[in-house]
Amino acid sequence: MARLTGRNTGTAPRSIDVARLAGVSQKTVSRVMNGEQYVSDDVRRRVLEAADALGYRLNHAARALASGRTQTIGVVTLGTALYGPASLLMGVERAVRDTGYALRVVNTMEGDAAGIAGAVDSLLDQGVDGIVISEPIDEEGGANLSVRVDVPVLILGAPPPFAASRVVTAGLVSHQLAQAVTEHLLELGHTTVHHLAGPQRWYAARDRLEGWRATLAAHGRREPPVIEGDWSAASGYAAGRRLAADDSVTAVFAANDDMAIGLIRALLEVGRRVPEDISVVGLDDIPVAAYVTPPLTTVRQPFDATAQDGLKLLVHAIENPDADPVPVDNPPVNLVVRESTAPPPNRTTPERRRTTD
């Protein structure tokens, strides 16, 4: 194809076109577009006007090729609409937006053989300056990432599962959330607290379990057997059926709200009242939590704060390859006490209280 140096019919304008119109060199256009210093205000204005007149749009592919930087961050998520992961993803998008980077997304399905390693690999393949791994789960020891990753990595909601050149983390708060829940229940007077855990391949699920366990131990309470669910309301329902059969259960901490809701449903179906007979607490504070019956006591997860803090670290690591990671504070724990928790029933003198809701 011949050089279309003079005309650009149907072709997007290039920086050289802008340069000609503004009467400067192409390099100067580049300087202006990148907001570099050492450009006189007059030249800058002329370039900007010319660019605007032409409808100039910087070609990112060319920039990436020449500079080796893509100005995009890749995120690996679970391919699920679960409230937690979805909220985190949205938080990440917002946070990335603020940093001026673009966002690429790749999902890992649960049970995906390639798992996180495959997703990271494909991101590296597409070209990203940094990677966010959101809520990783261990897929068959998939934690060992055999890919060499030489861009900074942010792990959200789990400690570094593998060694990469520069890894930062954020959102390691499940432990505290679980502690807050457990203590709330203990303070109400419950002798102990049962736990309906999330799938243990998830770090978040393990961390919540540990937080619960540690809190119980700290208060010298007996640790009841753990029931493991899969985050779904259906699994909560199944767990509720089992728990309802045990008269000693007076308080249950479900690792997320969906399971808590399923659990409550099962309890109600067999005639156990919540919270009069059994208190139930969830975790997440999903949008409907305040409107189920009874309104659910739960802890809110700080998704946006986590995403923002994490991205700040990641971008810092990208742009300052040699600097040390700056630690961020953990966001405050936000326990939302509603009506699914109450003191344990008085066994000797059952309180007969009528509630219409």
Partner DNA sequence: CTGAAAGCGCTAACAC
Partner DNA sequence: GTGTTAGCGCTTTCAG
- List residues binding DNA (CB under 7 A): 1, 3-4, 8, 11-12, 14-16, 24-28, 30-31, 33-34, 38-40, 42-44, 56, 58-59, 62-63, 65-69
Element spanning 214, H or E: helix 203-218
Please, which residue, 31 or 184, has the CB nearer to DNA? 31
User: Cα–Cα distance between 315 and 109 in angstroms, integer?
Assistant: 27
Peptide bond into 294 cis (omega under 30): yes
Residue 348 interacting partner from DNA, a copy of itself, none (CB closer than 5 to 8 Å by kind): none
Please, which residue, 214 or 234, has the CB nearer to a copy of itself? 234
Least spacing, CB of residue 124 vs DNA, in Å:
13
Token duo for residue 193: 């607290």
Element spanning 227, H or E: strand 227-228
- Cα 341–Cα 347–Cα 353 angle in degrees, nearest 5: 55
Q: Are 76 and 103 in contact (CB under 8 A)?
A: no
The residues that bridge with 108 in the sheet, in sequence order, are 78
Residue 319 interacting partner from DNA, a copy of itself, none (CB closer than 5 to 8 Å by kind): none
Residue 233 interacting partner from DNA, a copy of itself, none (CB closer than 5 to 8 Å by kind): a copy of itself
User: Cα–Cα distance between 121 and 146 in angstroms, integer?
Assistant: 9
Residue 24 interacting partner from DNA, a copy of itself, none (CB closer than 5 to 8 Å by kind): DNA
Element spanning 338, H or E: none
Instruction: Tell me the H-state helices in 35-173.
Output: 41-54, 60-67, 83-99, 115-126
Residue 214 interacting partner from DNA, a copy of itself, none (CB closer than 5 to 8 Å by kind): none
Please, which residue, 5 or 348, has the CB nearer to a copy of itself? 5
Token duo for residue 335: 């326990």
Please, which residue, 15 or 174, has the CB nearer to DNA? 15
Please, which residue, 146 or 348, has the CB nearer to a copy of itself? 146
Least spacing, CB of residue 57 vs DNA, in Å:
7
Least spacing, CB of residue 164 vs a copy of itself, in Å:
11
Residue 269 interacting partner from DNA, a copy of itself, none (CB closer than 5 to 8 Å by kind): a copy of itself
Least spacing, CB of residue 313 vs DNA, in Å:
23
The residues that bridge with 335 in the sheet, in sequence order, are 299
